Amino acid sequence: MSLGTVAVTGAAGTIGSAIRKALRCEAARLILLDRVPLHPEAENEDVRTVDLRDADAVEAALAGADRVLHLAGVPNEAPLADLLEANVLGTHHVLEAARRTGIERVVLASSNHVTGFHPAGHLTGAQDPVRPDGLYGVSKVAVEALGRLYADKFGLSVICLRIGSFVHTPTEPRHLATWLSPHDAVGFIRAALTAPRSTRFLTTYALSANTRRFWELPDPTELAYAPVDNAELHAAEIPGTDLPTDPTAPQAGPAARPEFTLKHLRP
């Protein structure tokens, strides 16, 4: 399937920078949005500096897009007010722009942190209850809920990708379960952008085919991508990976500790 015109929010971010290189070879036109200035690197790139808090500016920037990949937002634990403004309100403005301009597909970057308090011994699927491990996870729960609302109420086609640990290579024991390689990230995003229009709403984890994974891989009948990388191939290079994992410990690891969030709350 042709990608047509694809808009990417958060194009200057870690994932945005990686996916930009892949998509510009496949999209007829690539609209790259970020709050920091970008520079076009190919003839089919259209770069725009946009603050997602400005609903009118978002709608104007997304005009003409066939599909949107929404990556922008605060990517880590932060005060709730900041997360609501950047992640929740920003997502609302993207979905509203899609509704108003007739964009056929929106792919939302969610996070594995929406279920971080499930125990490491439980293979978690998208059908399991949300158990956010922090305020960031709460904001991504709201992002998914907004996507569901716009799919159910307004007929948008929305796919939420619960992204794993996106790094070039695994660097810590938890990554053996949570790693999402750059290659597999491109594969998941491409599959989400090109899934059949009949896919009204879908939430799935995006991670590599890790032997020790915490989360279910997507059903190939719902999302046509099978990851190929496996963090286990890097286990020998990471200290501590030979130690057993406590199956009752939260999947989020250190992010589940109170101090991870307390520093963002009033003393």
Write phi, then psi, for 32 (nearest 5 degrees): -110, 120
User: 69 in helix, strand or coil?
Assistant: strand
Whole-angstrom Cα distance, residue 156 to residue 62?
Answer: 15
**DSSP codes of every residue in 20-60:** HHHHTTT-SEEEEEESS-----STTEEEEE--TT-HHHHHH
What does the buried/exposed string (b/e) look like for 219-257 if buried means 16 or more CB atoms within 10 Å of the residue's CB?
Answer: eeeebebebebbbbebbeebeebeeebeeeebbbbebbe
Instruction: State the catalytic residue, choosing from 136, 150, 205, 225.
Output: 136
Whole-angstrom Cα distance, residue 171 to residue 227?
Answer: 19
Choose among 166, 189, 192, 190: nearest CA to 179. 166
Helix (H) or strand (E) holding 101: helix 90-101
Identify whether 225 is a catalytic site residue: no
User: Residue written as tokens 């491109």?
Assistant: 186
User: Residue written as tokens 């709201």?
Assistant: 142
The residues assigned a catalytic role are: 136
